[in-house]
Amino acid sequence: MLFNSFEFLIFLPTVFLLYWFVFKKKLSWQNLLILVVSYVFYAWWDWRFLSLIIFSSIIDYTCGLQIEKAQLKNKRKLWLAISMLVNLGFLGVFKYFNFFSESLAEAFLKLGYEFDALTLNVILPVGISFYTFQTMSYTIDVYRNKLKPTKDIIAFFAFVSFFPQLVAGPIERATNLLPQFYKKRKFNYTNAVDGLRQILWGLFKKIVIADNCALIVNQVFENQGEYNSSSLIIAAVFFAFQIYGDFSGYSDIAIGTARLFGFNLMQNFAFPYFSRDIAEFWRRWHISLSTWFRDYLYIPLGGSKGGTKMKIRNTFAIFLVSGFWHGANWTFLAWGFLNALYFLPLLLLNKNRTNTNVVAEGKIFINLKEIFQISITFILTLFAWIFFRAESIGKAIEYIKAIFTKTLISFPTIDIKPFIFIFILVFVEWLQREQQHGLAIHNIKQASIRWSIYALIFCIILLFGAQSQSFIYFQF
């Protein structure tokens, strides 16, 4: 079920009324309701893949209990390995099997041996990369003694399948979200109102920013040979805002929806395009994934504490794995490789923690140095996004080559209307960059001003919202 669909418009208030007015007497009833509606939410796409979520939940619930019971370290490792193998096995079969099989066949073809690649005719289950990582965080944290395994099977199954963030995150840690299923939840009007604000802002980013940009981006990237250099540059800029509006918009709706039911999810985006270097960008972009890889891959590999060779190895490991997490295509590995190259000099020079505060904190205006830093960071990010969006590395290289031609200073031949909406987005988020989201206007005391802002954004969505597009991260 899509957040920007008519079905969800009926689904959300229905679940809200049942949750707070029918099932409010017992926590166990509320958790059971969340579990049932989460399965309905996911089954709306394809009910057959519910079996994967249920099986993954059973495995990790059992492994968590067995890890605690095991007296010997080897047995604890065995149960952890079972959890990891099952979850990674799902990803391997559904997401990466065909990629490895076809890549192997291509490699042998270059050596003079030809054979048909064995491929599976399967659909990639929506959200599989998100909920498998979420369940793995549970068993890993139980193994590390950071979390006690739960015996409440309903709470655990609800944690795995929690519908607001089930299919595209944030990837919640069990240490944060699972304990919230144990505590009695009371309706908080202030939190609910702010949740609705965040939902509205997320819908603006998705329907107005991402979907309008998508119409042009898809047209240009699919027919890139037909456009001049300036048009290609603008399409790349539009994709940067498409993927931001699409993914951070989903996260805003997910976080806001969770707050309606008394849950607090982690912030997944913190205005990343205001970053002054790549290290800061990755502290602000898809935070739930970058911190997951930091805690469960980068630090266990040694982090940045070792020698130069170890730092280089670990940096490339985390970015290449992050790229591969996004999809079974060499373009994602190239995207990860580029970001590793960007990040490495900062790490080796010990400047990766230089910009940890909010840019121009406490100020309205920005200085020239910060403008330069943000511009360079955005250009580097934009260059990498071309590989992320392209169908192949060859197509990405052709796209970049086509930018640097004599038509670079020519007038673009594509619609540039989305720049109007991008300006609104950038302006609002610049003013709100010290808040949790772009529409956190609780400090405005005048109700008339607040409601005028809500009405304005709602009207923009109705009047200028583009044809509905699928959320980009559903494919990951």
pLDDT at 108 over 70: no
Mean pLDDT of the chain: 92
Query: pLDDT for 263-287, tens place per residue?
Result: 999 999 999 999 999 999 999 999 9
Q: Which residue is associated with the tokens 């679940």?
A: 15
Phi, psi for 324 (deg, rounded to 5): -70, -30
Contact 331, 394 (CB under 8 A): no
pLDDT at 132 over 70: yes
Residue 36 tokens, joined = 């049932």
Annotated active-site residue in 286, 326, 437, 442: 326
The residue-averaged pLDDT of 246-261 equals 96
Query: pLDDT for 303-316, tens place per residue?
Result: 888 888 999 999 99
Reduce the DSSP state of residue 165 to 3 states and report it. Answer: helix
The residue-averaged pLDDT of 121-144 equals 89
Residue 337 tokens, joined = 């490789």
Residue 199 tokens, joined = 């939902």
Phi, psi for 208 (deg, rounded to 5): -90, -50
**How far are the Cα atoms of 5, 55, 126, 260, 307 from residue 186, in angstroms, in the given order?**
28, 31, 32, 10, 51
pLDDT at 102 over 80: no
Contact 449, 467 (CB under 8 A): no
Tell me if residue 437 is catalytic: no
pLDDT band of residue 346 (cuts 50, 70, 90) is: very high
Query: d(Cα 180, Cα 262) in Å, to the nearest integer?
Result: 9
Give the per-residue pLDDT at 126: 84
How many CB atoms are closer than 10 A to CB 369?
A: 9
Residue 91 tokens, joined = 């990803």
The residue-averaged pLDDT of 13-27 equals 93
Give the per-residue pLDDT at 475: 67
pLDDT at 188 over 90: yes
> What is the dihedral sign for C-alpha 201, 203, 206, 209?
negative
pLDDT at 115 over 70: no
**How far are the Cα atoms of 70, 148, 252, 328 from residue 137, in angstroms, in the given order?**
19, 13, 22, 22
Query: d(Cα 111, Cα 81) in Å, to the nearest integer?
Result: 36
Query: pLDDT for 205-224, tens place per residue?
Result: 999 999 999 999 999 999 99
The residue-averaged pLDDT of 111-136 equals 81
The residue-averaged pLDDT of 249-268 equals 96
One-letter amino acid of 217: V
Query: What does the buried/exposed string (b/e) look like for 389-423 if buried means 16 or more CB atoms within 10 Å of the residue's CB?
Result: bbeeeebbeebeebbeeebeeeebebeeebeebbe
The residue-averaged pLDDT of 306-328 equals 91
Residues 6+ apart with CB under 8 A from 14: none
How many residues are given for the chain?
A: 476
Query: d(Cα 127, Cα 89) in Å, to the nearest integer?
Result: 15
Q: What is the pTM of this model?
A: 0.93
